[in-house]
Amino acid sequence: MARLFVRLKLRLIRNGLKGRRFQLVSLIAGLVFGANIAVIGFGLLAGPPNGPGHLAIPVRAFFITFVGWFLVPLAGSGVDETLDPGRLMLLPLSRRDLMLGLLAASAVGIAPIATLVTLSGALVGYGRSWQGVLMVLIAVLLGFALCLAVSAPPLPPTVERLF
Instruction: Say yes or no to pLDDT of 66 above 60.
Output: yes
pLDDT at 80: 58
Task: Give the length of the chain.
Answer: 163
What's the rounded mean pLDDT across residues 135-147? 93
pLDDT at 153: 64
Instruction: Say yes or no to pLDDT of 159 above 80.
Output: no
Considering only residues 158 and 23, tell me which one the structure prediction assigns the higher pLDDT: 23
Please answer whether residues 95 and 27 qualify as being in contact, where contact means their C-beta atoms are separated by less than 8 angstroms: no
Determine whether 49 is exposed, middle or buried from the number of CB atoms within 10 Å of its CB (0-12, 13-18, 19+).
middle
Helices (H), the chain: 2-17, 21-46, 56-75, 85-88, 95-105, 110-126, 130-151, 157-162
pLDDT tens sequence across 91-131: 788 878 888 888 888 888 888 999 999 999 999 988 888 89
Average pLDDT, the chain: 82
pLDDT at 83: 64
Please answer whether residues 101 and 89 qualify as being in contact, where contact means their C-beta atoms are separated by less than 8 angstroms: no
Please answer whether residues 104 and 9 qualify as being in contact, where contact means their C-beta atoms are separated by less than 8 angstroms: no
pLDDT at 28: 87
Instruction: Say yes or no to pLDDT of 35 above 80.
Output: yes
pLDDT tens sequence across 75-87: 765 555 666 667 7
Instruction: Say yes or no to pLDDT of 50 above 80.
Output: no
pLDDT at 113: 93
